[in-house]
Every structure is written in C-alpha cells, then in structure tokens.
Amino acid sequence: MAGKLYLCATPIGNLSDITLRCLEVLESVDLIAAEDTRHTLKLLNHFEITKPLTSYYEHNRKEKGYMLADEMLEGKNIALVSDAGTPAISDPGEDLVAICIEKGIDVVPVPGCVAAINALIGSGMPTGRFCFEGFLSVNKQSRREHLEAIADETRTMIFYEAPHKLLATLKDFEKVFGGDRKISLCRELTKIHEEYVRLTVSEAIAKYEETPPKGEFVLVVSGAEEKIEDFSSLSISDHVEMYIKEGLSEKDAMKAVAKDRGIKKSDIYAEYKLLR
Ligand code: SAM
C-alpha cells in the first residue's frame, strides 16, 4: 500500500505553537522532508524526535519531488516541513502536493501556524474578505504590474517581505495605492518582541527611512474604498469632486464623470463650471 504525504505546519517563532498532532505525525512517519535540514534538526532535537531527514527545497523541488513520490508509492509515509509555518505557503511544497495528486498519493494537511493569518488577525483590518499576495517579485517591472493589477482591490491584502526590500516595497505601495492607505507592519510574530506597527504607507516610509527595518515582515494593507457604482445619488459637482479627492486632475475627473454617466464631457464641464 502506498504511503502518505503529511504537510506538517511548524512554529513561526514560538516552539510552543507546535500542535500535538504534528508531533505525533513527525514521530510516526518514515522520513521527514525539510526545506533546511539543519533548521528542522533543531526543532526535532527540541522535541526529542529522531527521524531520517532529507532536503526538499526551491532548487531541487522538481526532481526531488518525483523521488519522494516514488518512496511513498513504495509504502513510506513522509512528512513535509518548511523552515517556518505551513508548507506550500510561499515555500516549496505546492509542487510536491501536485506530484502526489498526479500519482494518486494521499495528501494529509496537518494544520498550524501561518504567518499571514497571524498577522491578519492582529492587524485591526477587516478580516471578512482578504487576499494573500505572497512575496512581490524582485523584478521591478513584475512588481509594478502585480501591484497595478490589485490597485483597486477592496479586500484586505497580505504580503510577505524581507527587511532589505521593505522600503522599496513601501515606496511602490505609495505610488500605486497612495500614501494614505492604512498598513499594519507585523514582525517577530509569536516571539518575545512581536510587533504590530499600524500606520499609513507614507508614515511607514518615514519611520523606516529613519530606523532601518529588521526581521521578516508580514504587511497587511487595507483594501481600496468601494467605488460607488450608482452615481444617481451624487450631484455632478460632488461626482467630479470625488475623483479630484482621489487624486485626478479637474480635467481627468470630468472625463471620468462623463464616462460613468454616459454623457458628453462638454455637458459635465458646462454644469460643473456653472455651479462654481
Ligand atoms: N510557510 C510560511 C507560512 O506559513 O507563513 C511562510 C514562509 S515564507 C518563505 C517566509 C515569510 O513568512 C517571511 O519572509 C515573512 O514574510 C513571513 N514570516 C514567517 N515567520 C514570521 C514571523 N515570525 N514574523 C513575521 N513574519 C514572518
């Protein structure tokens, strides 16, 4: 009978966050595949678990994935752990899950910490609807394209970021989302110096220009204000002012109002200028 793949979530800083079920699974499997075997060895030593370890990481994920699948098909149960948190969330793992599904191997998630969810629930932002955006690309153009595609996103957005890229990312947020957008910068989650810094994007830039950021971050960014789609309750003047407040020039605001209302720009211009 084929073995199974267990996706074992491990702590993101505080070792007490490991679950009883995760410990049971780690004790029972035949092999543990880890992103960084030295890092995982420390965790296993702490909980006095002795198991064979093998590496499964970014640069061997394809070929190693098939090798691990073969071992499961031969009957071995394998636990996959990442350096922190839940495997397959912004770390290798999704490929292995896909390979197992392709080969008919059972995949069993063993839930626990996810930095994104930790950050979200402590951020003070709406949690009813949110989207996870992971790490932004290091490529400047891809980053901008990614952000521009979500410029009007109304759900709370969650990003992962490393300290050396934080300022550049905040500056990109400022360009695309605007400096007044609320952001919660969450670091050292679950650790002694856990920190939630709740500011606007511009305030965050000022803070980290003064004091360079340290540690890994989760950035929780408030969604864009819902756009009013039914403009009949707005006067033409208020409608134009709404766009000016959002940052459009008077000319572009009138153009946008004409488009929203399906009337000629000259009519908007005449009425707006008449009322002023
Ligand atoms: N699989 C992990 C999870 O479940 O959240 C995420 C792995 S990803 C490679 C690492 C990123 O997660 C970091 O760059 C940071 O953005 C975030 N992260 C992980 N642990 C964190 C912590 N204790 N405090 C703040 N952010 C953390």
pLDDT digits (tens, 9 = 90+) for 244-269: 888 888 888 888 888 888 888 888 88
Give pLDDT tens digits for 111-165: 999 999 999 999 999 999 999 999 999 999 999 999 999 999 999 999 999 999 9
Closest atom of ligand 1 relative to the 85 alpha carbon: 4
Query: Ligand 1 centroid vs 190 CA: distance in angstroms?
Result: 11
Residues with CB under 6 Å of ligand 1 are 12-13, 82, 84-86, 89-91, 114-116, 160-162, 186-190, 216-218
pTM for the model stands at 0.84
pLDDT score of 248: 85
On the CB side of 208, CA atoms within 13 Å amount to: 22
- Choosing from 15, 186, 194, 216 the residue with most ligand 1 atoms within 8 A of its CB, the one to mutate for a pocket test is 216
Average pLDDT estimate for 214-219: 95
Q: How far is the CA of 227 from the centre of ligand 1 (A)?
A: 32
Phi and psi at residue 200, to the nearest 5°: -90, 165
Residue 275 has pLDDT above 90, yes or no: no
53-100, pLDDT tens digit by residue? 999 998 998 899 999 999 999 999 999 999 999 999 998 899 999 999
Cβ atoms within 10 Å of 264's Cβ, excluding its own? 10
Render pLDDT for 224-250 as a digit per residue (tens, 0 to 9). 987 767 787 888 888 998 888 888 888
Angle at 26 between CA 22 and CA 29, to 5 degrees: 130
